[in-house]
Amino acid sequence: MVIVYRGNTTPSRRETGAAGKGQADWMSNIVPLDTVAHRDLRVDGTASRQLGDGVKLVSVVLREFALLALDYPILFGKQSDTGAFFCAAMLGFDEEENLFLRPGGGMDGYRPLNMERIPFFATETGLAIDLDSPRVGGPGGERLFDDAGEPAPYLQRIISIFRELRPGMEETRAFIRTMLDLKLGEPVDISVSFDDGVRRSVEGAYTINRDALADLDDAQVVDLFRRGYLHAASLMIGSLNQVTSLARRRNDRLTAPIPVGAFQG
């Protein structure tokens, strides 16, 4: 296995060292969540490729970084239509590859909030649900409301996710603006050769330039520290080491027997 980084990301000269496609493949029928109309509705929140978790990138927010960095490379992505930057966790190398999905359902490690929230969306007045999502209306799944019409535990969890995501998105946009204003972002191309001879490249990604970060003056560093941005930038830089772990996961699957329906959930 060979991993090549192109850019000034690793090693430093001071050390000799977006929601993804699978979540939106179906047509949408997004309606406001209603206590009466959706009283008996069930939603399957299991991590599963069939249910939309087969994605290589997922949009994440700043307050998730400490947990994300334990498992995933954290990168900046760029929207192809608007050119806007976003923060993303990398889960695989191919377009619909999530190397953390378990056979039979479930996911290793921390599951990003923007995956766990599906099929729900935030509106100005509350929550909405995509009734055409494959997660909705099946025989299994979790109830949204109890017999008294109050949010059931699963829906309570979804509500708590949006309480994190809504301010988290604003915080993340502010972090990205600051990194761009200080010219700390740089492109990084990740190229990996696997044990079966296949080579994969992840292009169009960005990270934090270590040298530019180290060259900031004291006042800028103190400001970043007080806002929590210095820690976040360090987590992003350090998370690139998870590319090796990610590649190892893919290599392990090359040699492991794959049961029928594996990674489908």
Per-residue tokens: 17? 């060292």
- What are the backbone dihedrals phi and psi of residue 137, each rounded to the nearest 5 degrees, phi first? 85, 5
Q: Lowest mean pLDDT of 1-15, 19-33, 166-180, name the range.
A: 1-15
| Residue 23 CB-density burial (10 A; 0-12 exposed, 13-18 middle, 19+ buried) | buried
Taking a C-beta distance cutoff of 8 angstroms, is the pair 57, 21 a contact? no
Q: List the alpha helices (DSSP H) in 16-139.
A: 65-68, 113-116
Inform me whether the pLDDT recorded for 172 exceeds 80: yes
pLDDT tens for each residue of 119-166: 999 988 899 999 999 999 887 899 999 999 999 999 999 999 999 999
Q: Nearest-5° angle of CA 100, CA 228, CA 175?
A: 75
Q: What residue ranges do the domains of the chain occupy?
A: 2-246
Taking a C-beta distance cutoff of 8 angstroms, is the pair 10, 245 a contact? no
- What are the backbone dihedrals phi and psi of residue 138, each rounded to the nearest 5 degrees, phi first? -75, 175
pLDDT for position 189: 86
Q: At which residue do the structure tokens 């772990």 appear?
A: 245
Q: Nearest-5° angle of CA 194, CA 197, CA 203?
A: 60
Give the residue-averaged pLDDT of 38-49: 94
Q: Which residues face 143 on adjacent strands?
A: 42
Taking a C-beta distance cutoff of 8 angstroms, is the pair 126, 163 a contact? no
Q: Nearest-5° angle of CA 220, CA 221, CA 223?
A: 65
Q: Coil, helix or strand for 264?
A: coil
The C-alpha atoms of residue 120 and residue 52 are separated, in whole angstroms, by 13
pLDDT tens for each residue of 215-249: 999 999 999 999 999 999 999 999 999 999 999 99
pLDDT for position 180: 97
The C-alpha atoms of residue 35 and residue 41 are separated, in whole angstroms, by 10
Helix (H) / strand (E) element for 57: namely strand 57-59
Q: Which residues face 142 on adjacent strands?
A: 43
- Cβ–Cβ contacts within 10 Å for residue 173, how many? 16
